[in-house]
Amino acid sequence: MRLELQKITKQFPGVLANDRISISVDKGQVLGLLGENGAGKTTLMNILSGLYRPDSGKILIDGKERIFRDPAQAIDAGIGMVHQHFMLVPVFDVTESVVLGNEPTKGPLGSFDRATARAQVVELSKKHGLHVDPDAKIESLPVGVRQRVEILKALYRKSDILVLDEPSAVLTPQETEELFEIIRGLARGGTSVIFITHKLNEVIAVADKITVLRRGAVAGETTPKKATAAKLAEMMVGREVQLTVSRSKSKVAEPILQVKGLNVLNDAGGLAVNNATFEVRSGEILAVAGVQGNGQTELVEALTGLRLVDSGTVVLEKKPLHAGSPREIAMAGVAHIPEDRNRDGMVKGMTIAENYILNTYHLPQYSKSGLLNRKAIAAATEQAVKDFDIRTPSISTDIASLSGGNQQKVIVAREFSRNVRLVIAAQPTRGLDVGSIEYIHRRIVEQRDAGAAVLIVSTELDEVLALGDRVAVMYEGRIVGILDAKEATRERVGLLMGGITK
């Protein structure tokens, strides 16, 4: 089926999320929908799936206008969604998950006809080469398989148009390649696919046609043959972008952070970090790669004092830190850019100045006998706003009103305002626009060049490969390999991310 969206507009309070967006996809075609976070991709998708209704504009399927009042109508029209956050019930099994909403029944009470449902799921997965165990519980399945269940859900509903929202975010490169194979197979079979992503290489690899969104509007259309990554990035951002971080060779000196046999438990009491041993030296960036949820969060929390260390040692320049409080660790020269800036990085509702001194307010230059020295704080913050190019009306603005990129700059400015020996940056560019990403990367590299040790944790392989002088890979809590930048190819790191060490 051919799907066409004509001049879709959706206004939210204060934001024009979709501004006359027109896109189309033909039968058997793969459309890559490219855009940064906040470009309006998700809103457009929610309109297409019947969750939102557009303020104006039309949805045409095979030339006929359709109006979706709720998700059921979109499904009936043949649109199948694979959401970024999977829409699966953890305690259900695969069969139940696939047929939920269109269950085969028998008898007067509407008894669930499990046998028929199971047979349908088995047949469907065979037909499309999507291998899953129909009786497995969802919660016991790895993410890659859960995604296959999501695709099966769409196919079970006879979707002719399959929409995938950031489908590779939780996959290893190999799993992503498998997903591409599945997408190509479906397209050959006549399914139209809309592939939503912010990763340039992926659209080039899998799409037949590329539409780029920027700030809620279509910024351009092209094909993978004509496009290059640089051109696409330019369309996405609206100006020329440096995709690779320019940096000199690292001048590695003595080890600054030494971690030995570190074990850390997760909230449920399970082993999240399993016997981690590594060191980070002055003047180098150690990038930790891994699919989300393999212990990286717990590792960072343990190193920064936010989580108790179960056993093992953490030493910063001969000073043991594994029993230190967050403040002791910060004062020892550790800068922490947290993974979730909304939760751990700032206090919304407080001003930029207050956020700037969040972990140094107790120092004599900012407070005396419990009273804050407002003048000194204001002066320091003004300087930081200038130095870090933080776009804000004033330093007494609520930090919540800044853009994500500027919020992150406040955090980076704060963390780099102390004497920095070690930088721990977890997902430092998540959800930021390309411009801010460039800026944050440059600042981190500057710290390295000034002689600090840098530990970056990222699930974006591109970021890891661009920044890491060495690359460590975490899988199920263990560090399964540490590679030099030369050896760290996409393939090798990808295999390690999947736990394959040979």
Partner 1 sequence: MRKKKPVAAARAKTTTAAPAKRSTSVGDGADAQQQLIASRVRAGLFALFTLLSLAITSGSVGVEGKFAFWVDKVGGTDVAFSVPVVLLWAAVTVGFGAMAALQLVRGASFRWRLAIGLVSPVLVFALLARLLDGTTANLTVFFTSTLLYTVPVGIGALAGIIAERSGFLNIAVEGKLLFGAMIGSIASSITGIAIAGPIAGAIFGALVSLFLAWLGIRYKVDQIIAGTVINIGALGVTTFAYLRILQPYSEFNRPIGITPIQIPFLSDIPVIGPILFSLSPYFYIAVGLVLFFTYMIYRTRWGLRLRAAGEQPNAAGTVGIDVVKLRYRAMLVAGLLAGFAGSYIALSGTGGFGVNTSAGKGFIALAAVIFGAWNPVYAFGAALIFGMTSAATTLLSGLGVSLPPQILLSMPYIVTIIVVAGLIGRVRAPASAGRPYDQG
Q: SS3 of 373, please?
A: coil
**Minimum gap (Å) between residue 72 Cβ and partner 1:** 3
Q: What phi and psi, each to the nearest 5 degrees, are found at residue 140?
A: -95, 0
Q: Considering the complex, what minimum distance in angstroms separates the CB of residue 76 from partner 1? A: 8
Alpha helices in 189-339 (DSSP H): 200-206, 229-237, 296-303, 326-331
With respect to partner 1, which residue has the nearer C-beta, 1 or 82? 82
Min. distance of Cβ 111 from partner 1 in angstroms? 5
- Least distance from C-beta 476 to partner 1, angstroms? 6
Neighbours of 258 (CB within 10 A): 18
The answer to whether 162 and 80 are in contact (CB under 8 A) is: yes
* Cβ closest to partner 1, residue 22 vs residue 266: 266
DSSP 8-state secondary structure symbol assigned to residue 400: G
Q: Which is nearer to partner 1, 108 or 364 (CB)?
A: 108
C-alpha dihedral over 368, 369, 374, 377, to 10 degrees? 50
Give backbone dihedrals phi and psi of 475, rounded to 5 degrees, phi first.
-145, 120
Cβ proximity to partner 1, 63 vs 269, nearer residue: 269
Shortest distance, position 135 Cβ to partner 1, whole Å: 12
One-letter amino acid for residue 115 of the chain: A
Distances (CA, A) of 29 to 26, 34, 166, 364, 442: 5, 16, 18, 64, 39
Nearer to partner 1, 89 or 323 (CB): 89
* Residue 52 or 416 with smaller CB distance to partner 1: 52
51 or 205: CB nearest partner 1: 51
Query: Alpha carbon of 357 to those of 352, 377, 415, 425, 489: distances in Å?
Result: 9, 7, 10, 19, 40
Work out how close the CB of 141 gets to partner 1 at its nearest, in angstroms, rounded to a whole number: 10
Tell me the closest approach of the beta carbon of residue 436 to partner 1, in angstroms. 27
Residue 278's SS3 state is strand
CB of 272 to partner 1, least distance (A): 6
Nearer to partner 1, 241 or 271 (CB): 271
Question: Which residues contact partner 1 by CB under 8 A?
Answer: 46, 49, 51-52, 70-73, 75-76, 81, 83, 85, 87-92, 96-97, 100-103, 105, 109-112, 137, 140, 142, 153, 157, 263, 265-266, 268-272, 274-275, 293-295, 310-311, 476-478, 499
* 354-357-358 Cα angle (round to 5): 80
First to last CA, the chain: 44
